[in-house]
Amino acid sequence: MNHRLHSKPFIGLIALYTIISTSSTNACEHILGKWQSSKSLSLDYAKQRTDKKYSDKQIQLLQDIFGIGQVEFTPTSYIFFIPEHTTRIQDQLKKNAEQIHTNNIVYTVCQKDKVIIAENQTKLKENKHTIEALKIMDISIEEFTTHTLHFVDKNTYWTSPLPRMSNLREYFVRIPKD
């Protein structure tokens, strides 16, 4: 009898492992691949807002930053690439260096219309400047490293670039495979 009691938890663990490994690798196949930030979709949304009007300077900044980033999702990570670019801040041009950000992720929600990813927080916790900025803004690390992607269709999604900024959306479109 002891043999049966011990085998049931073991079978349960195997079933749980199978569910977790399947959901983390296969369940979000519709997000896998490369995506390009869409300047036109993102700006159209910002300009059409009736509950939040952006100033001319804010629109100029959005024009400078939307449309340049690319992200690639794999089953276990993402790579965010921003090429060298120039932004206008307070009527001065600022040159920004190329950036590549790679991090391990877990797909915590995977639905046809919504995917939620959680980043590995280890790298972020090592960046003291980011941690200080989050404290000033009263944003938790968990909130900052959890991203919700809302699908418009199978080739377009939007996300809020920063936590608590649901009035601002950055749209991404799928880059076709070669």
Tell me the pLDDT band of 137, cut-offs 50, 70 and 90.
low
- Domain of residue 79 covers 29-174
In a domain, 94, yes or no: yes
12 belongs to a structural domain: no
Quote the number of domains for the chain. 1
Does 114 fall in a domain? Answer: yes
In a domain, 9, yes or no: no
| Confidence tier at 17 by pLDDT (50, 70, 90) | very low
Verdict on whether the full-model pTM lies above 0.85? no
Considering only 46-50, 73-77, 117-121, 146-150, which range has the smallest mean pLDDT? 117-121
On whether residue 7 sits in a domain, the answer given is no
Q: Is residue 16 part of a domain?
A: no
3-state helix, strand, coil split of the chain in percent (to 5) is 35, 35, 30
- Within a domain: residue 68? yes
Mean pLDDT, to the nearest integer, of 2-21? 42
pLDDT of amino acid 151:
96
Beta strands in 6-142 (DSSP E): 33-38, 70-73, 77-82, 85-89, 92-96, 99-110, 114-119
What is the per-residue pLDDT for 19? Answer: 39
Question: Is residue 15 in a domain?
Answer: no
